[in-house]
Structures are given as C-alpha cells and as structure tokens.
Amino acid sequence: MPFRHQIRFATTSDGVKIAFAQSGQGFPLVRAAHWMTHLEWDWQTPVWGPLLEALSTGHHLHRYDSRGCGLSDREVPAARLEQMVADLEAVADAAGLERFALLGMSQGGGVSIVYAARHPERVTHLVLLDAFARGSLVRRPEPAQHEVIDAMARLVRAGWGQDNAAFRQMFTTQFFPGATREQADSFNQLQRLSCTPQYAEQLVRANAALDASSWVSQVGCPTLVLHCRNDSRVPFEEGRFLASAIANARLEPLESVNHVPLPGEPAFDRALALINEFLPVSPGGQVAAAFAGLTQREREVVELLARGLDNAQIGAHLGLAEKTVRNKVSAVFEKVGAENRAQAIVRARDAGFGRSG
C-alpha cells in the first residue's frame, strides 16, 4: 500500500491553483512536475507508484501537478518554461520549505535547473533523471523536426480523449519501450486522465521548444545526473551535456532502453541506490534512508514483516518459498543494520512500513 499523503494547494504569481502532495518523513525532497502527472492516480500505477514509495522512504517528498494537469487548475493557457518555474516556486513557498533537495525528471529537469540557478540559497542538491534543458526543437532546429512535432501534436489533439489507446500508446512506446503490458496499459490510462486533448497538444509543443540551456552554467549546488544510455525520448548526449555544463555535477549512466528506469529492471534499483547515497538525510531520518536502498521485492517482504507476519505467511502472500523469504529477510537485516527480527520490525515501522495492516 502507498504511503499516506496530504494534498494541498498553492497559488502562483499569476493566480493559478497548483495541487501538491506531501508524504514520508526525512529531509525535504521536491519532485518537479514532468510529463502528465496526477497526484491521485500516480500512486496507483506500476510505473510511478513504486518510485514514489521509495522516494517517500527516508525523505519528506513533495510532488505537484503542473498547471493544466491532474488536480491543478485545468482551464489555463499553454505552460511555457517561465510558468512551469512559477508552479515550482509556488509549491516550495506554500510548503514552507527553506532548504530542500530537488529532483528533475524529463522536462522537470529544465524547470529544476532554472529554479536552482535562481534560488541557490534554497536548493541543497539537484538530481537530474533522464532530464533535458533543451527540447527537441532546440537540439534539432531543422525544418524536418518541426514537421515531426507539428504532426505529433495534431495527432494528440485528434485522438487523446478516445477510448482507443492507440494515440497515447505512441507516446508510451517512446517513453517506455521495455514496459510490461500492465505498465504500458496503466501509463496509457494515466495520460488520458492527466489532461485534456487540447492541453496535451500544447504540452507537446511547449516541451519541444523548452530551452533552459542559458541557466545550466549558473547551477552551483552538487548535482547528480542519471541518464539511460538507450533513452529514445531524450538522447544520452543530453545527459552528457548537463553533466559537463554544471560545475558540481557527476554523470552516472543507467543501462535501460526506457526514458526513466521502470520497476523490475536493475537500472531502477541502481538509480534509487545512487539517489539515496547522494541526497542528505535529516538527523532523524538515517534509519528510514537505509530502507530506500532495498529492492522492490525486499520492500514487499519488509511491508509484511512490519505487519507481524512470519516467514511462512510472507511466503504465502508473495508466492515465495519459505527458504527464499528467509534469505531475503537476512539480506534486509544486513542492509538496514538490524541484528534481529524484532529490531528490524521496529525500524521498518519507524520508516513507515506496516501502517496499512
């Protein structure tokens, strides 16, 4: 079960209501909005749910729906970079965050770069995950690319709201060519729920034209750049560009064909481990942070362990042999520094596990 989250609203400088959610405990971490989010539905997808739960373990996660999407105001003009940054500024102010880490994924990377450059006193660490500062029309301004974007935007407007997912599947295949059927279907549905066909078209055009490249050299905080080598949505070269242009950045390639690593592939666990090692933790968040390095299967075991189930019961729930469960429990003990089962249960509950039992 997902962490409990609280949904609140912020008002931007131009009067738009932005919905944001808070979950977990620990050092503040803000995830900038990216391609079509929905605060309520994100939790329920096998694409974003496991990531959000992992980020909420050891951190006080703040995430929001950009204008035009999810629970934020829908009837708004097309968002450009300045408006996207204004959304992030409004959320950080409304949440009362003085110092926090920032996670920018995909187009959220450009937004995060501008915010970090403008507010160096507030951003402690920046993580850029398959992010870009230059949209496709900035990277490739030739006429042929303009024709591609225009055709794609027109297709989106015509087919986005249809029950047939073929139009949305076009984007899902670009984002997640390695997705399982369940993951692909859930992402298709999430895209349909996140915004209107008209706004989806506007987003396609706005993201293609996004240009935060003039701000990249002004980022001064420690920066971790994670980028999938075979990302077909945002080329690996864009990750190299960001890591080379930001003074305090380091690049960590990820072995995946997806735009962002998906739960179930090794790159997903590696990305989480790198993020967890890089980000600060609050004095009381050391235990919770240790749990963020667990694999998805280990997290499932810990959830049942925290509810008081024994190894046989855990095995029955997860369809695993009791010996397999015993080995995974031992691995968990080592990772979280627990000497015995009772201590592991206490630490797991302190980290937020077992609350749904």
The pLDDT, as a whole number, for residue 152 is 84
pLDDT in tens, 20-47: 999 988 889 999 999 889 999 998 899 9
Q: Is the pLDDT of residue 354 over 80?
A: no
Same domain flag for 34 and 83: yes
The pLDDT, as a whole number, for residue 3 is 57
Same domain flag for 271 and 310: no
Of 118 and 153, the structure prediction assigns the larger pLDDT to 118
Same domain flag for 99 and 220: yes
Coil, strand, or helix at residue 102? Answer: strand
* CATH code for the domain of 255: 3.40.50.1820
The pLDDT, as a whole number, for residue 62 is 97
Q: Is residue 170 part of a domain?
A: no
Q: Is residue 263 part of a domain?
A: yes
Judged by average pLDDT, the poorest of 126-130, 267-271, 342-346 is 342-346
Q: Is residue 341 part of a domain?
A: yes
Same domain flag for 339 and 216: no
Same domain flag for 17 and 97: yes
Same domain flag for 34 and 130: yes
Q: Is residue 162 part of a domain?
A: no
Q: What is the mean pLDDT of the chain?
A: 89
Q: Is residue 306 part of a domain?
A: yes
Same domain flag for 305 and 272: no
* CATH code for the domain of 309: 1.10.10.10
Q: Is residue 18 part of a domain?
A: yes
Same domain flag for 32 and 129: yes
The pLDDT, as a whole number, for residue 170 is 75
Q: Is residue 269 part of a domain?
A: yes
Q: How many domains does the chain have?
A: 2
Last residue of a domain, one of 265, 285, 305: 285
The one-letter code for the residue type at 42 is D
**CA–CA separation, 51 vs 100, rounded Å?**
19
Q: Write out the residue range of the structural domain in which residue 219 sits.
A: 5-136+211-285
Q: Is residue 61 part of a domain?
A: yes
Question: What are the CB-based long-range contacts (under 8 Å, 24+) for 180-187?
Answer: 180/46, 180/264, 182/46, 183/45, 183/46, 183/47, 183/262, 186/44, 186/45, 186/46, 186/47, 187/45, 187/47
Same domain flag for 26 and 115: yes
Last residue of a domain, one of 262, 285, 308: 285
Last residue of a domain, one of 255, 285, 315: 285
Same domain flag for 305 and 277: no
pLDDT in tens, 171-222: 788 889 999 999 998 988 888 889 888 888 898 899 999 999 999 999 999 9
pLDDT in tens, 292-350: 668 878 888 998 998 889 999 999 999 999 999 999 999 998 888 888 898 888 878 77
pTM of the model: 0.80
Same domain flag for 277 and 328: no
Mean pLDDT on 54-71 = 92
**CA–CA separation, 61 vs 158, rounded Å?**
36
**CA–CA separation, 62 vs 226, rounded Å?**
20
Same domain flag for 236 and 309: no
The pLDDT, as a whole number, for residue 335 is 84
Per the document, the length of the chain is 357
